């Protein structure tokens, strides 16, 4: 799962640092703006705007942690089996 609420979390830091993505507070809500460009011309188009909430992001984080915990258990079982003849 590399997307959370339509945001590629694997590239988040890089996109933010390069100015391609920004988070803005609007009242009590948050909006992510992602710059988009026309593939053929290279011209900037209207940005993709995604409404997000801290609760959504925290829930996504918890789901990922649960998945990691499950993967850790599988890895542990596989490592134990690997040690047997």
Give tens-digit pLDDT for 28-76: 899 999 999 999 999 999 999 999 999 989 998 999 999 999 999 999 9
For 20, residues 6+ apart whose C-beta sits below 8 A from its C-beta are: 34, 35
Domains contained in the chain, number: 2
Nearest to 55 by CA among 32, 29, 33: 29
Name the pTM for this structure. Answer: 0.71
Say yes or no: 23 and 46 in one domain. yes
**What is the pLDDT at residue 2?**
66
For residue 1, give its domain range. 1-52
Compute how many other C-beta atoms are within 10 angstroms of the C-beta atom of residue 20: 15
Is residue 45 within 8 Å of 31, Cβ to Cβ?
A: no
62, 63, 69, 73 alpha-carbon torsion, rounded to 10° = 160
Say yes or no: 58 and 47 in one domain. no
Both structure tokens of 21? 């993505």
Say yes or no: 21 and 41 in one domain. yes
């Amino acid at each position: 799962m590399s997307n959370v609420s339509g945001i590629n979390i694997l590239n988040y830091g890089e996109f933010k640092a390069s100015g391609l993505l920004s988070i803005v507070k609007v009242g009590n809500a948050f909006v992510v703006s992602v710059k988009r460009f026309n593939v053929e011309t290279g011209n900037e188009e209207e940005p993709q705007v995604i409404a997000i909430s801290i609760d959504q992001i925290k829930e996504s984080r918890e789901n990922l942690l649960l998945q990691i915990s499950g993967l850790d258990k599988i890895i542990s079982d596989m490592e134990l089996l690997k040690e047997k003849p």
